[in-house]
Amino acid sequence: MSAPTTRQADALAPAGFKQCWNLLKSLPSAPSRARLTGLLLIVAATVALMNLGSQLLGRIVDIVQGQDIALIGSGRGAMVAALGVIAFCLVAEVSGRTLVSFLINSRVRRLSMDLRTQALSSVLRAPVPRILELGTGNVITRLSKDIDTVVNTITTMGDRLLITVFMLPLTALALIFIHPAYGVLFLLAAAMMYPFVKGTIRDIPAVTNVVSSVEARRNSILLDTIRALDTLRHFRLGTWAARRMERYSWETVQSWADRIPLFTRILAQGSIAYGFLLIGIILMSVPMVSFDWISQGEAAAAVLLVTRLEIHVFNLLFFAGEIQHAGTSLGRAVALTLLDDVPSTETTPPLKSAPSVRIAGLYYSYPGGASVLRDINLELEAGTTTALVGTSGAGKSTLAALVAGLQYPDAGQIFLGEVDTAATSSSWLSRHVALVTQEVHLFSGTLREDLLLARPAATDSELWKALHAVGLDESSRWLPEGLDTAIGAGNPEVGPEAAQQLSLARMLLRQPPVLIMDEATSEAGSEHAEVLEEAARKVTQGRTCLVVAHRLDQARSADRILVMEAGRIVEDGDHASLIAAGGRYARAYTQWEHGQES
Ligand SMILES: Nc1ncnc2c1ncn2[C@@H]1O[C@H](COP(=O)(O)OP(=O)(O)OP(=O)(O)O)[C@@H](O)[C@H]1O
């Protein structure tokens, strides 16, 4: 696979501001309106005192010149009072900032925890095809790096950002208060900045979303490489994998580099607008002082107020990228929470018994690939077991995945009883259809904990009953501690046959009305074949089953056998009738029987 030549955003667009705001408000750790107002009042008071300190510092010039200042007076007493208030303002500034920073930091970490939990549970409930389309690397990037970016940005510059937001209007007010002409200049500088800011708000999100998407693709490739370690070693593809990783990493570096012209432009535009304001204030002050419109101290105060603004304006401009990046990252994480298709009230009633499965006019092709399934029409009778057989690549696993809801068909419908699965939520579907494959994931913990996931209210004796039914008992070498045996990641490995038995036991406990088995008993070696096949037979009883049979002995006992060839069903019947028909199945079966004998 080669790296894409143009850098593009991925399939799931970031959520907008309103969606993010609504989601954040609904999180358990969201601050109450009173707390939010309290925080804003602290910021406003801190900024007001910062401005007061700057103004008084300027007015010291007037005190030195013996002028009388409102509320403070003149002479030595006024000087002491002014210095006292300035000191107080400095202490208030430091305390206010520390408090604001503490309040923001402690809240944002709890909010990020809630957001991660909510996004993850939405991902778990979302339709599987949607997640597969997004890619696991993408989802992981959104759940980890994107949320971390938001937390890091807010904890490092959230307080500064809030202070700047208040600083701009309060400085404008203070300047108007000194003389309205300063206010006019401030408005002119703001008008100059307006198109710059508008352009920035327009351009940055798209650029930053591309950066995050490219990073997500790189992470997908990384995951793919780690997952395929065995294959890569086996085929000596280490160098190819390293080169592929290098290409995608370089793509990430390039996408970051693509941002540079945009940020250079933002800084240049900010410098022009700020330079206009500062030079304008100094130039205006000279005639205003000489015409006695303002005192020298007031002119000094105005210049100090604008000088003080510099660090805040440039903080905003300098970190505009990070701030927007955090905004986009937040949107990307919040978009995951919107994947969940579970309606607030489920309208499709649960099925009371195993339903028939009707497939009508089904077509499917993998993205960019040739047609895999063509016009499949069939009905699986309720409570029966149907085996799918056919040559490798015929489309058996693909058909099984479509019925299990892991892929969306290109055309056609799948009905469970009367329910069109396309019109139900993915959680309704997953409650009614279970898929057992060769890959068994055992959750880390005790065997009891793992089995209880399938039926939380099951008693120990019910768990043992399910284990006995699939051929595992107290004497099994894989269960030395019985139900307390530690299994899953970090614990001694359970053999592949035992893992498949456990997976079948989970199905017995879960009792799904429709069961799809794809290579679910593929580990059946000669000594275990009987046990696994018997376990599979028990699991299929009482439900509608579709079994992808890779060995013909698995098909023989099914109620019905479908033979697939190049995406179509070419033979349909039970074992006896297909043998009697002498077609592909009969030939394959005879060959298989000879193979078994020799
Ligand atoms: N993820 C995928 N992306 C693209 N093509 C795929 C994908 N999975 C399967 N295919 C292709 O779709 C066709 C049908 O594959 P499928 O696995 O459904 O066949 P199968 O009958 O189950 O074969 P097997 O018995 O070997 O598992 C094959 O040509 C296969 O190469």
DSSP 311-363: HHHHHHHHTHHHHHHHHHHHHHHHHHHTT----SS--SPPPSSPPPEEEEEEE
- For ligand 1, the distance from its centroid to the CA atom of residue 198, given in whole angstroms, is 49
- For ligand 1, the distance from its centroid to the CA atom of residue 94, given in whole angstroms, is 65
The CA–CA distances, whole Å, from 457 to 222, 454, 538, 598 equal 40, 9, 21, 49
Q: Return the pLDDT at 387.
A: 94
402 lines ligand 1 (CB under 6 A): no
Q: Return the pLDDT at 381.
A: 95
Tell me the CATH number of domain 17-337, given options 3.40.50.10860, 1.20.1560.10, 3.40.50.2300, 3.40.50.300: 1.20.1560.10
- pLDDT by residue for the chain (598 residues), tens digit each? 444 445 556 668 889 889 999 999 999 999 999 999 999 999 999 999 999 999 999 999 999 888 888 788 888 888 999 999 999 999 999 999 999 999 999 999 999 999 999 999 888 888 777 887 788 778 888 898 889 999 999 998 889 889 988 998 999 999 999 999 999 999 998 888 888 777 777 777 777 778 878 888 888 888 888 888 888 888 888 899 999 999 999 999 998 888 788 878 878 888 888 899 999 999 999 999 999 999 999 999 999 999 988 888 887 777 777 787 888 889 989 999 888 655 555 677 888 889 999 999 999 998 777 889 999 999 999 999 999 999 888 999 999 999 998 888 999 999 999 899 888 887 788 889 998 888 888 888 899 999 998 899 999 999 999 999 888 888 888 888 889 999 887 788 888 888 888 999 999 999 999 999 987 666 555 566 677 788 888 888 889 999 998 778 778 889 999 999 999 999 999 999 999 999 999 998 888 877 766 6
- For ligand 1, the distance from its centroid to the CA atom of residue 535, given in whole angstroms, is 27
567 lines ligand 1 (CB under 6 A): no
Q: Which residue minimizes the CA distance to atom 26 of ligand 1?
A: 392
17-337 and 357-597, same CATH topology: no
Return the structure tokens found at 360.
């009508």
CATH for 357-597? Answer: 3.40.50.300
Q: Return the pLDDT at 208.
A: 76
- CA–CA separation, 525 and 381 (whole Å): 31
Beta strands in 478-595 (DSSP E): 486-487, 514-518, 544-548, 560-565, 568-573
Q: Return the pLDDT at 2.
A: 40
Non-local (6+) Cβ contacts of 548 within 8 A are 387, 388, 396, 397, 400, 516, 517, 518, 519
Return the structure tokens found at 384.
């029966």
153 lines ligand 1 (CB under 6 A): no
CB 90 within 8 A of CB 49: no
366 lines ligand 1 (CB under 6 A): yes
**Which ligand 1 atom sits nearest the alpha carbon of residue 395?**
18
- CA–CA separation, 245 and 219 (whole Å): 9
Largest CA distance in the chain: 119
Radius of gyration in angstroms for the set of CA atoms belonging to the chain, rounded to a whole number: 35
409 lines ligand 1 (CB under 6 A): no
370 lines ligand 1 (CB under 6 A): no
- CA–CA separation, 317 and 200 (whole Å): 10
- CA–CA separation, 430 and 443 (whole Å): 19
Q: Which residue minimizes the CA distance to atom 29 of ligand 1?
A: 393
Non-local (6+) Cβ contacts of 90 within 8 A are 53
Domain boundaries, the chain: 17-337, 357-597
In b/e form, how buried is each residue of 125-138, taking b as 16+ CB within 10 angstroms? ebbbbbbeebbbbb
396 lines ligand 1 (CB under 6 A): yes
**Which ligand 1 atom sits nearest the alpha carbon of residue 366?**
4
> In 3-state terms, the chain is what percent helix, strand and coil (to 5)?
65, 10, 25
- For ligand 1, the distance from its centroid to the CA atom of residue 400, given in whole angstroms, is 11
Beta strands 560-565; 385-390: pairing state = parallel
Non-local (6+) Cβ contacts of 223 within 8 A are 136, 137, 140
393 lines ligand 1 (CB under 6 A): yes
DSSP string, 46-111: HHHHHHHHHHHHHHHHHHHTT--BTTTBSHHHHHHHHHHHHHHHHHHHHHHHHHHHHHHHHHHHHH
Q: Return the pLDDT at 1.
A: 40
- CA–CA separation, 576 and 589 (whole Å): 11
On the 0-12 / 13-18 / 19+ scale of CB atoms within 10 A, 448 is middle
Residue 406's SS3 state is: coil
Return the structure tokens found at 473.
């008992």
- For ligand 1, the distance from its centroid to the CA atom of residue 437, given in whole angstroms, is 15
In b/e form, how buried is each residue of 183-202, taking b as 16+ CB within 10 angstroms? bebbeebeeebeebbeebee
The single-letter DSSP state of residue 132 is: H
Q: How much is the ipTM here?
A: 0.96
512 lines ligand 1 (CB under 6 A): no
Q: Return the pLDDT at 551.
A: 77
- For ligand 1, the distance from its centroid to the CA atom of residue 393, given in whole angstroms, is 5
Q: Which residue minimizes the CA distance to atom 11 of ligand 1?
A: 393
Show the CA angle centred on residue 393, arms to residues 381 and 11, nearest 5°. Answer: 90
- CA–CA separation, 445 and 484 (whole Å): 9
The CA–CA distances, whole Å, from 311 to 179, 203, 477, 582 equal 23, 24, 70, 86
398 lines ligand 1 (CB under 6 A): yes
CB 2 within 8 A of CB 247: yes
